[in-house]
Chains A and B, each alone.
Chain A
Amino acid sequence: MKPVIKIKNLWKSYGTKTVLKGIDLDVYAGQVIGYIGPNGAGKSTTVKILCGLLSSFEGEVWVNDVSVKEHPLQVKSKVGYVPELAEMYEVLTPMEFLEFVATLYQLPAEMALTRIERMMTAFGLEPHLNQRMDTFSKGMRQKVLIVAGLLHNPDILILDEPLSGLDANAVIVVKELIQKLAAEGKTIFYSSHMMDVVEKISDRIVLINDGSIAADGTIEDLRQLQGNHSLEKIFAGLTTKGGVQDAAGDMVRAFQ
């Protein structure tokens, strides 16, 4: 089977600071990749490169056999990207904003309209379709962002903390959505700090630390290698030096 995403020896620096240090990764259709790592490990940079937002990197990145460096536009049209609590043009209504996004993806107007209405109705946002988003709650905005990422029916969906701000019911909807999209052969790149969610929904977990891949495999693989712990513990074991428990202990001792 051919990989949908192929990353080969990827390096990226900002000035003197090297953020990615030789990442190699093959991702296949229908996989849900839990992409985790501490803050500043290089997650967002990888995601930005995959979305075709950064072109000044060393190494090779292909999406569906298309080089990200050479044909960023072709890659962008295959990828749906939902940034974490991203900026949006808040003075627009969801309808205006989503129609705008649909045009940028060059969807036919009628198809876009049907999809917007259906997706927004599924999220329970239909009554708010024509209200300006500056009054929206965090969760409502996140729903609009998710719809904006899915509208063009992408092969690859990159989600950065997609559950933040969502209420419990919406969380269920998004989790199920991810499973169903994967079952249809779409590739999901799921980046998050919520380890329990990542553990549940991912078929494969890639842990990145300090610009390199520290672990790669199913949760069972990781358990076999790191002891039969929860993902949270495995994460802490691989990414901290002193251990998280020490930090908590220090916090409590600060009262004394």
Chain B
Amino acid sequence: MNIFNKALLWVFLLPRALYDKLGVSMPQLRSILTVKLTMDDRRPGMFQQLNQQKANAPVTKATLVTMGFSVFIGCSFLMVFFLGSDAVTHVGLFFALFMFMLSVTLISDFTQVLIDVRDNQIILPKPVSDRTVVTARILHIGIHMSKLMLPMALPALILVGIRVGPVSVIALLLCVLMATVFSLFLINAMYLLILKFSSPQKFKQIITYLQIGFAILFYGGFQLLPRLVEKDSIGTLALGNVYGHILLPPYWFAAFFGLLNGIMPVSWVGWAAAILAVLAPVAGIVLVVRFFAPLFNQKLSLLSGDSPSTSKPVEANAKASGKKANYWAQWITRPGAERMGFLFCQKMMARSREFKLKVYPSIGYVVVLVLAQILRQKNFSFDNLEYQTQPGNMFFIMYAPFLVSLGAIGQINNTNHFKASWLFNITPLSHPGAVLCGTIKAILVGFLLPCVAMTVLLGCFRFSPALFLQIGVACCVQVALVYVFFWGQGLMFPFSQPPQTAAQRGSILVNMVLMLLLGACGLLHYALRNHWWACVLLAVAAVGAAVAMHKKTYHVPWKRIKLYSDF
């Protein structure tokens, strides 16, 4: 355990008398918490999870990394202290960011930390009282939250200390604590809500989608916020001057902070908000302890699969997604290994949690990028998409979606369950390349096609043959590029390698060359835009290249495919 864990454990175990009174066994409590904190230190946190470097390297200082990252995030919050018109607004915006980030982090950590179904097998058969287990769980959450919350609030605390004074620091710390408790309550409520309306099996899937959604929101916020700030409205923003602000929890805590600092609220909205800041966390704690915690434990035991009759919904889903994939497979793949590879990839891409977690956010990023591009241009309208006020815009919108396919290509070979790929190795395939052809087609259908469809949809706002020609050409170029990038990754069976970064595969140079190629293709297309015949020629060349590469992929021999043989 590192020094932070030790210190926090010491602090949280201070009220010994209280625990004894509750009937909690101190040695057991200490032991459970020690083990849990040690494991936290060896488990990649949310930030590392999304960006995991290497599967095999043991994680040792996850806590320190997470805390360091929290400080960094906390620093980025400081920008809001320069927005808005008054101190309460500054703090209100700070609380908005703080509560958002805390919730996002906790949502993903909860699935790992709180919903550790192994506890059911390891701790429950031992003579440990329920009270000890529940107390350990609550304290673990407390310690876990402190490790996120304190570093995240630290930069703001320092800034307030410098700007106003030490008393304000204590006031802010108190408000931060209250906001944290309230966030915990919100997340708890949300978890229960999800569990109420979905099966425990689907639960983790929904949490995955939430995580993806928040990642996009986070990225979008950082892309779009500065652009919004340029517009003057946020500069003169003052919280509390509109009745509706009472609905914003961050404002409650800001109002309370203001009150503590002797800034009297000017309106009844301010007073009401300050009162809510005190009442809401207290009510939250009562609700969580009295009602949510028992319900939660009850639902959690379901997650471990104690009840035998719950496999039906998964089965039905599997059939549905299989049907859709089959439909495409019949049209665009050759029967045999190619179709098998296609169907396998379609199903894995749709169901693998790790694949979704790494690739789906890029869809959101592209949407944000496109939106940002559109917003950047004042007086934007679809009428001028075509030519020629700012034709770069349309080219950007046509080519940006390729990033999604790029993300899919980058992840298609990776999985934590890479050992399952022994199956490929023992099959007597005469053309192992056929599997790779199926893989590429799955990426084309799953990621490139929907993006092109979206571009076409955007283009429909102004019907023009020339625009659709450009979209068609861009599509052909991108198909060829998918093949090139796929080869650039090295030839491997889908989902057969442990997760690694490009750096570890030694392909940074290759990737840079490929990115240059992507840029060159885009620029070439842009340069030729006013000559329709040249565009058609480009498309024909791209299709020719794609067909040639497809054939080459099909005839790839066994010895060129990188196998993972350490089973």
Contacts and interface: CB of A to CB of B under 8 A. Distances in A.
B117 interface: yes
Interface in B96-152: 117-118, 121-129
A89 B118 contact: yes
B39 interface: yes
B15 interface: no
Given A91-B43, A104-B31, A132-B58, A15 B126 contact: no
A34 interface: no
Contacts, number: 78
Given A87-B118, A106-B28, A51 B39 contact: no
Given A17-B308, A87-B117, A51 B125 contact: yes
Given A87-B117, A88-B118, A132-B58, A104 B127 contact: yes
A66 to B, nearest CB: 12
Interface in A133-169: 134
B204 to A, nearest CB: 16
A76 B125 contact: yes
Given A76-B127, A87-B117, A92 B122 contact: no
Contact of A77 (B59, B117, B127): B127
Given A14-B308, A15-B307, A87-B122, A106 B127 contact: yes
A103 interface: yes
Contact of B307 (A14, A51, A77): A14
Contacts of B27: 103, 106
A216 interface: no
Interface in B19-69: 25, 27-28, 30-32, 34-35, 38-39, 42-43, 58-59
A86 interface: yes
Contacts of B388: none
A101 B59 CA distance: 23
Given A15-B309, A92-B38, A105 B127 contact: yes
Given A76-B127, A91-B42, A83 B309 contact: no
Contacts of A17: 308-309
Which of A79, A104, A132 has the most CB atoms of chain B within a 10 A radius of its CB? A104
Contacts of B28: 103-104, 106
Task: With a 10 A CB-CB cut-off, give which of B27, B38, B122 has the most chain A CB atoms.
Answer: B122
A9 interface: no
A99 B35 CA distance: 10
Interface string B496-508: 0000000000000
A134 B118 CA distance: 14
Max count, chain B CB within 10 A of own CB: residue among A86, A88, A103? A103
A100 B42 contact: no
Contacts of A97: 35
A171 B35 CA distance: 31
Contact of A104 (B39, B58, B128, B308): B128
A52 interface: yes
A97 B42 CA distance: 14
A103 B136 CA distance: 14
B33 to A, nearest CB: 11
B31 A100 contact: yes
Nearest to A86: B121
Contact of B123 (A86, A91, A99, A104): A104
B226 to A, nearest CB: 40
Nearest to A54: B306
Given A14-B308, A104-B31, A106-B25, A89 B122 contact: yes
Nearest to A19: B308
A17 B34 CA distance: 40
Nearest to B58: A132
Interface of B: 25, 27-28, 30-32, 34-35, 38-39, 42-43, 58-59, 117-118, 121-129, 306-309
5 contacts: A17-B308, A83-B121, A88-B122, A92-B35, A100-B32
Given A53-B124, A53-B125, 15 more contacts: A74-B127, A83-B125, A88-B118, A91-B38, A91-B58, A92-B35, A92-B39, A97-B35, A101-B126, A103-B31, A104-B123, A106-B25, A106-B127, A132-B42, A134-B58
Interface of A: 14-15, 17, 19, 40, 51-53, 73-74, 76-77, 79, 81, 83, 86-89, 91-92, 96-97, 99-101, 103-106, 132, 134
Nearest 5 A-B pairs (CB), nearest first?
A103-B31, A77-B127, A104-B126, A91-B42, A87-B118
